[in-house]
Amino acid sequence: MELWNMTDLTDKPTSALLNCTVDTSYRFTFYQVSYSIIFLLGLVTNSLALRRLCLSSCTMNSTAIYMASLSTADLFFVISLPLRIYYYHQKAQASNTGVWSGWTPGVAYCQLTFSLKYISLYGGIFFLVCIAVDRYFAVVHPLASTLRRLRVAQMVSGGIWCLVLGLSVSLPLLHLAATHHNQGCLLDPSSQRHRTIILVSLGLVMVSFLLPTLLLLYSYCRVLSVLGQPRRRCRSNHHNRRHTLRVIYCVLGVFLVCFLPYHINLLGYTLTHLKLLPHCGLAKVTKYMQPVVLCLASFNCCLNPLIYYFSSSLVHKEVPGGGGSGSQ
């Protein structure tokens, strides 16, 4: 899910980048193995989580709404992986033999896979933040039951879906607007027009990550502060408190392992190849690590169901419709 296909462009380096090239031929096999594992794990775990959530509609609450939306967003990406795996299999064979005789994806496929990837990544980020805010109101403001009602959660979830779909469509359209019709995924960073599109895309991506992250950190810091108070610790249900802490640590783990490395690397990767940050060593490191952090970001769809399993007690035992004074 690069902002542009720099691997294809810089495999034929310009004179400016001639001394900053790095061998990334490993990426085709690495993508095949990684995406195969992600496909199998993601399909099974998200399908099971979504099935249980749908079959438990009698106890549906705000947490369950956000978890169901999270699993749905993950499945969008998982179903696109078989074509990605086949494409990288063909690329690996072409890299070994020097002859490309396989399937070449068209613009429609390119735009679709871009969109599904953005839906999974930023749908995951936004709905994890929704879960964090939901825990914030459950613990810090337990009497504010209106904000955790089922109808409110459904409206918030619908708004998040509109935002995610809008972002997921707008970014590929930015690429398409700057390219020829037969190269919908390729942008040339040496072109001033393409540089502008790349920077706009980068800005949208970074804002879509940083603002939700700040909201999530604030929510969980407040929750941990309240749960750490001796008076609250004595009054709270020990079982629910333990599950709340597990959810917090799991969500933070997903952000630290999957989302943070990808966005840090993407920032350096983009700025160095646009020559806005002329640092050869950084260009080499970010280009070499791009397939790794990209697969780590994709792996979030396998880790997200763990959040459901850790929060299953909170999903199925709280009072339907939100509220639940003192619920955690």
pLDDT in tens, 268-319: 998 988 888 888 889 899 999 999 999 999 999 999 888 877 766 555 555 4
Provide the residue range defining the domain that includes 88: 26-317
**pLDDT (0 to 100) of residue 135:** 86
Q: Are 239 and 326 in contact (CB under 8 A)?
A: no
Classify residue 230: in a domain, yes or no: yes
Closest C-alpha to 267, from 223, 222, 306, 209: 209
| Exposed/middle/buried for residue 49 (C-beta within 10 Å: 0-12, 13-18, 19+) | buried
Amino acid present at 320: P
Who contacts 323 (Cβ-Cβ below 8 Å, separation ≥6)? 145, 148, 149
Angle at 326 between CA 322 and CA 328, to 5 degrees: 75
Q: What tokens were used for 208?
A: 């879509």
- pLDDT over 90 (residue 33): yes
- Could you report the per-residue pLDDT of 204-251, keeping only the tens digit for each? 889 999 999 999 999 999 998 888 776 655 555 666 677 788 888 889
Looking at per-residue confidence, does 292 or 95 come out higher? 292
Confidence of residue 7 (pLDDT cuts 50, 70, 90): very low
Q: Within 13 Å and on the Cβ side, how many CA atoms surround 316?
A: 12
Confidence of residue 161 (pLDDT cuts 50, 70, 90): very high
- pLDDT over 90 (residue 155): yes
Classify residue 324: in a domain, yes or no: no
- pLDDT over 50 (residue 168): yes
- Least confident interval from 14-18, 44-48, 281-285: 14-18
Q: For the chain, how many structural domains are there in total?
A: 1
Question: Distances from the Cα of 30 to the Cαs of 36, 79, 187, in angstroms?
Answer: 10, 19, 24
Confidence of residue 9 (pLDDT cuts 50, 70, 90): very low
Confidence of residue 258 (pLDDT cuts 50, 70, 90): very high
Classify residue 294: in a domain, yes or no: yes
Classify residue 10: in a domain, yes or no: no
Classify residue 308: in a domain, yes or no: yes
Classify residue 11: in a domain, yes or no: no
- Could you report the per-residue pLDDT of 114-125, keeping only the tens digit for each? 788 888 889 999
At 231 the three-state DSSP class reads: helix
Classify residue 149: in a domain, yes or no: yes
**pLDDT (0 to 100) of residue 57:** 55
CATH number of the domain within which 135 lies: 1.20.1070.10
**pLDDT (0 to 100) of residue 61:** 80
**pLDDT (0 to 100) of residue 201:** 83
Q: Are 161 and 108 in contact (CB under 8 A)?
A: no
Classify residue 19: in a domain, yes or no: no
- pLDDT over 70 (residue 14): no
Question: Distances from the Cα of 146 to the Cαs of 62, 85, 172, 237, in angstroms?
Answer: 11, 45, 38, 22
- pLDDT over 90 (residue 127): yes
**pLDDT (0 to 100) of residue 11:** 45
Q: Are 96 and 129 in contact (CB under 8 A)?
A: no
**pLDDT (0 to 100) of residue 235:** 52
> What sign for the dihedral angle of Cα 87, 93, 95, 100?
negative
- pLDDT over 70 (residue 324): no
